[in-house]
Amino acid sequence: MQEPVVADPRTVDREILDFVMRTPRWFFVWAGALSGVLLAGVGVFLLLLIFGLQYFGYSHPVYWGFPIVNFVFWIGISHAGIMVSAILRLSQVEWRRPVTRAAEVLTIFSLLTAMMMPIIHSGRPWRTLYWEFPYDFIRGIWPNPRSPLVWDPSAIFTYLTSTLLFVYVALLPDLALVRDRASGPIRKAIYTVLAMGFRGTSRQWRIQAVSGILLSAIILPIFVSVHSIVSWDFAVLLLPGWHNTVFAPYFVIGAVHSGVSAVVMVTIIIRKIFKLENYIKADHVDSLARLLLVVAATWGYFLMLDFMFGLYGEEPAEVATWMKRTFEMPWIIMSPIFIFAAFLFPVPMWLFRKVRRSFKWMFITTVSVNIGMWLERYMLIIPGLERKSDLQFVYGDFTPSISEFIIVAASFALVIVGVLSFAKVLPIIPATDIKEGLLMADKIRVGRVEVPATMRE
Amino acid sequence: MAVEQRRELLGLFEEVDQAADAFTRLREAGFGDVDLEVISSTPYPEGAFGDAPVKHRLFTFPFAGAACGFIIGLAWIVGAQVSEPLITGGKPIVAVPAIIQILYEATLLAAVLFTVIGVFFESRLPDGIGLYDVRIADGLIGVSVLATDQTMLPARQALELAGATDILAQEGSLLRPAQEPSPS
């Protein structure tokens, strides 16, 4: 870390809590506009409740459309938040301080959004209750734990609960800070309850430090399990193109690729809109870009493995699916776009230091990765279902409906509104973490040069 | 035998060294580690004020949670299968490979829940008992001492000599008595 934060603790508190304490006009404009998109999504959902899945225009054999693509995409995004935060906390990396909270919050809202997608996709959400919970004792209805329908919600529920608790525990000191500055009896009362009387005793700080490490260590295996289980939603089926043994690690690393890119995007956006230039510096995006290079290279390797395993077995149905994905319309256009956007464009760019340290280029390249990764999920799900197989007399191309596009737009709106609203009520950068960093920062003289250094307990 | 009533004093300091000095003086005045506490809005390194290392058992909580989660998960999943023994796909009623995922999640979920309970327990939260001042959130460092009627004076003197900006007791500031209300 070469660029330490230069500010005294009082300035840190003031600048980081600024957005929590006062609301600029643009917040209402953006929140209002995004809520409009969200409302459109709610409207589509209500129509879906009335008309069922036929409202999306689904017909045999493609019943998994945009909601499932979106589900895999948002689960993927949710992964990097915790991965970035937990790995950096565990390894006590100094540059983690300004980026962990935003990454964790992104995880929460993308996970919540992802959870809604299978419920929307079910068309009859109330039925999901007896698929998941053993409540209908009288009729002897129990969930089937041999099915991914039970694995998936159990993994996502575990991940969401753990993430919420992880974020809440880490938030306690900042909640106390906001409580002490809050004006108005209702706001003060809410923050007082949430802060649970945190005073900042030596014991409380010590437990904070230990809990960060413990919870990170527990949450990392959860994070790996979630996307593995999401991949098994596909891999346990016998559909060509889906039952590859490499799916679990391929999905996990793909999730990290899109997720870390999303963390970079969010970091750059919050730096700009909340005027946090003093805390989020070129070093932070540079470090994240180096991490991305490793992740992207690994993901590229697994993509090749998926392709190779698909063809190497010479299983006719598998080969036919890959041929469709690669050479038939519209996939012949989509495949190069996906490869270019997710890998060929951003990865070589990240090799250049100037790009890695440029907020503009990092934003462009990470947006590109996420466009590519959304397409990857689309290309993974739809062609396998569309392909004509033996004894199948009805088949056809999948055409997404306008309503599905609205659902996708609403999901993005939900995540953005969620992160913005969080930043409105709680600090999006952990103030106490930054202050601890200030305390530990030092400079040491080596020969004739003075270099930044960090002390550690 | 009647237990002697103890009251809390909270000294507020501008500088870390002043707070550390107060801590030393209070120790010299005969106060033990259980009577003293440092309160700050910044996580200072352990022992920065001369306070003893914090002893805790937080590490045991996740293990206890994981064990409970595993048992509950197993009971739920086996119970669900045995209660409705439908053979599907020729698989055994309790198929181990199929339930490993749920056991794994139940184990980790309970480990997280117990850890968080442990955090609250070991941090002594919710904490609504101790003295606190919002100036601590502004960067002042508080040194809290539990004193009896006999030791109240030496405690206050130690805090004053270390350069306390203010000293608070249950009834309010001891250095800045409440101002007389101005006649309207």
pLDDT tens column, A405-431 = 999 999 999 999 999 889 888 888 888
Q: State whether A150 and B38 contact (CB < 8 Å).
A: no
For testing the chain B interface, which of A202, A215, A436 should be mutated: the one with the most B CBs within 10 Å?
A202
Q: State whether B109 and A196 contact (CB < 8 Å).
A: no
Comparing B123 with A60, which gets the higher pLDDT?
B123
Q: State whether B119 and A169 contact (CB < 8 Å).
A: yes
Alpha-carbon distance of A213 to A80, in angstroms, equals: 17
B162 touches chain A (CB under 8 A): no
Q: State whether A169 and B108 contact (CB < 8 Å).
A: no
Task: Give the H/E segment covering residue B168.
Answer: strand B166-169
B57 touches chain A (CB under 8 A): no
Mean pLDDT to the nearest integer, A284-302 = 91
Which residues from A are below 8 Å from B23, CB to CB? none
For testing the chain B interface, which of A10, A17, A20, A146 should be mutated: the one with the most B CBs within 10 Å?
A146
> Does the structure show a pLDDT above 50 at B17?
yes
The total number of residues written for chain A in this structure? 457
Query: pLDDT digits over B39-84, tens only?
Result: 998 888 888 888 888 889 999 999 999 999 999 999 988 887 887 7
Alpha-carbon distance of B152 to B178, in angstroms, equals: 20
Mean pLDDT to the nearest integer, A216-223 = 90
Q: State whether A201 and B41 contact (CB < 8 Å).
A: no
> Does the structure show a pLDDT above 70 at A4?
no
Which residues from B are below 8 Å from A141, CB to CB? 84
In this prediction, residue A326 has a pLDDT band, given cuts at 50, 70 and 90, of confident
B83 touches chain A (CB under 8 A): yes
Mean pLDDT to the nearest integer, A231-247 = 83
Window from A290-304, B89-103, B149-163 with minimum mean pLDDT = B89-103
Comparing B114 with A27, which gets the higher pLDDT?
B114
In this prediction, residue B180 has a pLDDT band, given cuts at 50, 70 and 90, of very low
Mean pLDDT to the nearest integer, A386-395 = 70
In this prediction, residue B177 has a pLDDT band, given cuts at 50, 70 and 90, of low
pLDDT of residue A454: 66
**Nearest chain B alpha carbon to A202:** B38
Token representation of residue A396: 């056809």
Identity of the residue in A155, A207, A232 whose CB atom sits nearest the CB atom of B105: A155
Q: State whether A218 and B112 contact (CB < 8 Å).
A: yes
pTM: 0.89
Mean pLDDT to the nearest integer, B108-126 = 93
A274 close to A428: Cβ distance less than 8 angstroms: yes
Question: Across chain A, what does the average pLDDT equal?
Answer: 86
DSSP symbol at B23: H
DSSP symbol at B92: -
Window from A224-233, A394-403, B119-128 with minimum mean pLDDT = A394-403
> Does the structure show a pLDDT above 90 at A126?
no
Mean pLDDT to the nearest integer, B29-41 = 87
